[in-house]
Amino acid sequence: MPAEIANPGDPRAAGTTLHAADGFLRSGKVRDLFEVGDRLLLVASDRLSAFDVVLPTPIPDKGRVLTGLSRFWFGLTSEIVPNHLLGTSPADLPAGFTDEAGLRDLRGRMMLCRRAKVLPVEVIVRGYVAGSGWKDYQKTGAICGIELPEGLRESDRLRQPIFTPSTKAEVGHDENIGFDSMVGLVGAELAEQVRDVALRLYLRGAEITEKAGILLADTKFELGTALDTGELMLIDEVLTPDSSRFWDASAYEPGRAQASFDKQPVRDWLEAQPWGKTYPGPELPAEIVAGTRGRYVEAFQRITGASFERYLKEDVVA
């Protein structure tokens, strides 16, 4: 029976309410991973990272927003590419996996998944010029080696979305790479298949978020090959505020940086603190926590058209 926090003392342990169960593998910035037979259990915690630092204050239900949105998108994209999702109900877990409180906490934030060999690249698609893409464009007139028209302003929409893979850095920042480098890493056939799938996923996502008044500036997918069959599948989280740059369409104004739909209250508050953006980050005040939770819930409701209260009560996205 679980007794201890999976990773005591680690700043990432903030917001971990599921105690170490048998099969604990590791914790990422946001998710805790467990092995359940031949399946993988992903548990999205309420941890929030800003400026690459996981903050000590959790945002209540944030992990449920991420999981609910991913569930929604897995359902809408399975014709484009199969995905890792096998189950989302605590009842799908083996008896005795955790206690009653653990099961209650898992509700809405867990995904039982097929295990994948994760591709060694971040699969990024950009529909707008922002972030590292804007920096790259100012320096080179291109993003990841993809030549773009002259005179683009920050946050301008691209005529067509572009595929801009990057490396997965163990430490420090990921580095943008050209498509040729990706071919070197995974081979031409897989690289082309991934590019095709990623662009189609982006277009599907952008079409749906735009109807909800949210622009999908760019997004990162994770793909892997199934350990059993070797087929390409979509893994991790999909088109969530954490994996995507969402902008409020009603405030969109190219020529400057845009506010982040979900994290802006936290970023603005952090920028005003005497803090060097290294560990440990400051505790967030209650009103910033509440405001940020509100933005995540709003993203869930606008994009899915479903009630978050109902998601919490009934564990359905409807």
SS3 224: strand
Out of 28, 82, 131, 291, name the contact with ligand ADP by CB under 6 A.
28
Question: Among residues 118 and 188, whose Cβ is nearest to ligand ADP?
Answer: 118
The residues near 101 (Cβ < 8 Å, ≥ 6 apart) are none
- Residue that has been written with the tokens 């893979």 in this structure: 165
Taking every pair of Cα atoms in the chain, the longest distance, rounded to a whole number of angstroms, is 61
Applying the rule CB under 6 A, the residues between 260 and 279 that interact with ligand ADP are: none
Q: How far is the CB of 242 from ligand ADP (least distance, A)?
A: 8
Out of 21, 31, 137, 263, name the contact with ligand ADP by CB under 6 A.
31
Q: How far is the CB of 222 from ligand ADP (least distance, A)?
A: 5
Residue with nearest beta carbon to ligand ADP: 28
Residues, the chain, total? 318
Q: How far is the CB of 228 from ligand ADP (least distance, A)?
A: 12
User: Amino acid identity of 226?
Assistant: A
Applying the rule CB under 6 A, the residues between 109 and 128 that interact with ligand ADP are: 113-116, 118
Pick the piece of the chain touching ligand ADP (CB under 6 A) from 27-35, 189-197, 263-271, 277-285: 27-35
Question: Among residues 57 and 155, whose Cβ is nearest to ligand ADP?
Answer: 57
Out of 14, 18, 21, 40, name the contact with ligand ADP by CB under 6 A.
40
Q: How far is the CB of 10 from ligand ADP (least distance, A)?
A: 12
- Are residues 210 and 249 in contact, defined by beta-carbon separation less than 8 angstroms? yes
The set of long-range contacts for 299-304, using a CB threshold of 8 Å and a minimum separation of 24, is 299/65, 299/69, 299/214, 299/241, 299/246, 299/261, 299/262, 300/65, 300/68, 300/69, 302/212, 302/213, 302/214, 303/69, 303/72, 303/208, 303/209, 303/212, 303/214, 303/239, 304/68, 304/69, 304/72
Does 241 interact with ligand ADP (rule: CB under 6 A)? no
| Of 118, 121, 120, nearest in space to 33 by CA | 118
Task: Please tell me the count of residues contacting ligand ADP according to CB under 6 A.
Answer: 17
Out of 56, 108, 127, 224, name the contact with ligand ADP by CB under 6 A.
224
Q: How far is the CB of 30 from ligand ADP (least distance, A)?
A: 4
Question: Among residues 42 and 317, whose Cβ is nearest to ligand ADP?
Answer: 42
CA 207 to chain centre: 18
Question: Among residues 218 and 222, whose Cβ is nearest to ligand ADP?
Answer: 222
Residues near ligand ADP, by CB under 6 A: 28-31, 33, 40, 42, 84, 113-116, 118, 222, 224, 235-236
